[in-house]
Structure 1
């Protein structure tokens, strides 16, 4: 008897299930791919905000327009800081 509390294991090469060679791994992204993805997300987000901004503020003028812009800025910054 040994002092080791772990049970001894038999040869695992005959164990059922996937082997190391049969497990498919996703390719790792390169640093450039990560940057391009981040840039694409930023551009698409800016485009969506711009497209949605015009109809949402179409009839506003003066103080109402400024309040809407500040509210949108606060919401945008809170999303960026949380995300």
Structure 2
């Protein structure tokens, strides 16, 4: 799903999965979108819905953190897709 989202969705800037060192059964996914609209589009795609349904049995909790970048200019240099 990650590569498909990055390849097909210009508003997806970053999808990065990580595993917690202190608990290898815990994972975090860093997702960065160009806008709220890009996020809403992403969660409606067929490949995301397939991923979501396929992982329901694995997810014990889900907490979305909505963040505001403090330095948008640096974000633009890191994520070339960002306008």
- TM > 0.5 fold call: no
TM-score by length of 2: 0.24
Higher-helix-fraction structure: 1
Larger radius of gyration: 1
TM-score by length of 1: 0.24
Higher-strand-fraction structure: 2
State the structure with bigger RCO (CA 8 A, min sep 6), 1 or 2: 2
